[in-house]
Amino acid sequence: MPVSHKHITSQAELVIIGTGMAGIGLARALRRQGDQRSITLVSADSGDDYSKPLLSTGFAKDLSADTLAQRNAAVLGEELNAHVVIHTHVSALDVDNRTVLLDGGKTLGYETLVLATGAEPRVPFRIASSLASRFFTINDLDDYRRFRTALGQGPSRVAVIGAGLVGCEFANDLHAGKHHVSLIAPEGSLLPRLLPAPLGNALGDAFNEAGINLHLGRSIDSIVLSNSESIELRLDNGDTVSADFILMATGLVPRSALAEAAGLSVAPSGIVVDRQLRTSHPNIYALGDVACVDGVNAMYVQPLQASAKALAATLSGTPTPVSFGAWPVVVKTPLLPVVAYPPITTPERWRIEGEGGDISALAENKDGRLIGFALTGGCVRRKVELSRVAPVLLG
Ligand SMILES: Cc1cc2nc3c(=O)[nH]c(=O)nc-3n(C[C@H](O)[C@H](O)[C@H](O)COP(=O)(O)OP(=O)(O)OC[C@H]3O[C@@H](n4cnc5c(N)ncnc54)[C@H](O)[C@@H]3O)c2cc1C
């Protein structure tokens, strides 16, 4: 089936909004089990099929955006026997008439609708227009392409704002790509939502030793352009960080506005769905970073892959509740390997053992049961053993 860019058919049995790993993963899972229904995927972006986790490994390996794209929308459409409508924004859902409204005024009818619209970067402060061309977030392949183009060939000074997974991975990757990296965050240690402080500090030591400048426990008072066109970030302790570019990595917010405007049930952590990925409206489902499944929005690959498989079975006539299993997060910081399976309730205690960069931390509840873990350095080899005994979140 040809890929449609502008010539959009007006009806499909299944419409999927989003061509991230969730949307494409669902279409692929359906075709794999022999489902023949007509499918249209609509994407605001280029529709390239790529692995988002690889974006934060591309500078070390000097990979272009085109290299990271495994297949373009045309090849994807052929493979999935589907229409892939690209660079097209869905502006509204008409749930009573089962149509989606596309920018430009066209409509697309469906029997079943799946929302796989992902999440977008949270930017907690306004950036002056004079700095806009030097200010980046990276949440898709197009963002990565723009940032690589801006950095050019020579080493640049990059101020990464944020100490979470995306901030730490890009700090490590940009450093490996020979850029000069400063990392600024209000928290006192790295990966604060994944690691107890001693392990976050171990990663901080590895970053420091490698030459990444850490400014932890600091907030930014002002960002100005100097006369020499250098960006000056003034911190609350009076320090100044000079940079050529700013990379913001201050968290993601589910893109649930379409669903909310259409009257679907939405929570701060995403579109509310049950274990069969059903929204509050019949014939509309959601999965991936936008979906809050039975109270959990995981925002990682393993849960969205499990969701795609379960939803494909449900849509093909075998109602299948999704199970997430135990999904430890492997953080891509080669300066110090990290694996984390953070507990969802506050642990009674962390049992922390090890020295230097090789540390294991076991989170226990008041009965002494393991409810999560974090591992650094050589201890990451305990991942499989601990995952087997860790509790399953959505079992
Ligand atoms: C740098 C980075 C590294 C990561 N590393 C890891 C890792 O190591 N391990 C891990 O498990 N997870 C990792 N993650 C998280 C993981 O990549 C995401 O959970 C996953 O890719 C989300 O996929 P998605 O399909 O739900 O959303 P997205 O990939 O965000 O896709 C959303 C799609 O919806 C489209 N869309 C949105 N709104 C509209 C609209 N109104 N109209 C039309 N189209 C629309 C977009 O264009 C896009 O195609 C990482 C994330 C980042 C940013």
Q: What is the pLDDT of residues 207-217, one digit of tens each?
A: 999 999 999 99
Q: Can you read off the two tokens belonging to residue 227?
A: 């006369």
User: pLDDT tens for residues 177-190?
Assistant: 999 999 999 999 99
Other CB atoms within a 10 A radius of the CB of residue 211 amount to 9
How many angstroms separate the CA atoms of 140 and 172, rounded? 19
Burial class of residue 149, CB neighbours in 10 A (0-12, 13-18, 19+): exposed
Q: Ligand 1 centroid to 172 CA: how many Å?
A: 21
Which CATH superfamily groups domain 11-119+252-315? Answer: FAD/NAD(P)-binding domain (3.50.50.60)
Q: Ligand 1 centroid to 139 CA: how many Å?
A: 7
Tokens 């991936």: give the residue.
288
How many angstroms separate the CA atoms of 19 and 22, rounded? 7
Boundaries of every domain in the chain: 11-119+252-315, 123-248, 337-389
User: To test the ligand 1 pocket, which listed residue (107, 117, 293) has its Cβ within 8 A of the most ligand atoms?
Assistant: 117
- Is the pLDDT at 72 greater than 80? The verdict is yes
21-32 helix and 73-80 helix, angle to the nearest 10 degrees = 30
User: pLDDT tens for residues 27-40?
Assistant: 999 999 999 999 99
Q: Ligand 1 centroid to 16 CA: how many Å?
A: 14
How many angstroms separate the CA atoms of 352 and 342, rounded? 14
Nearest to 328 by CA among 270, 277, 231, 393: 393
- Is the pLDDT at 393 greater than 70? The verdict is yes
Residue 278 Cα to chain centre, angstroms: 22
| 8 A C-beta contact, residue 100 and residue 42 | yes
Domain 11-119+252-315 and domain 337-389 have a common topology: no
pTM of the model: 0.95
Q: Which helix (H) or strand (E) element contains residue 305?
A: helix 301-315
Give the CB-side neighbour count of residue 268, counting CA atoms within 13 A.
Answer: 1
Give the fold, CATH level 3, of 123-248. FAD/NAD(P)-binding domain (3.50.50)
52 CB under 6 A from ligand 1? yes
What CATH number matches the domain at 337-389, 3.40.50.2300, 1.20.1440.230, 3.30.390.120, 3.60.150.10? 3.30.390.120
Q: What is the pLDDT of residue 3?
A: 44
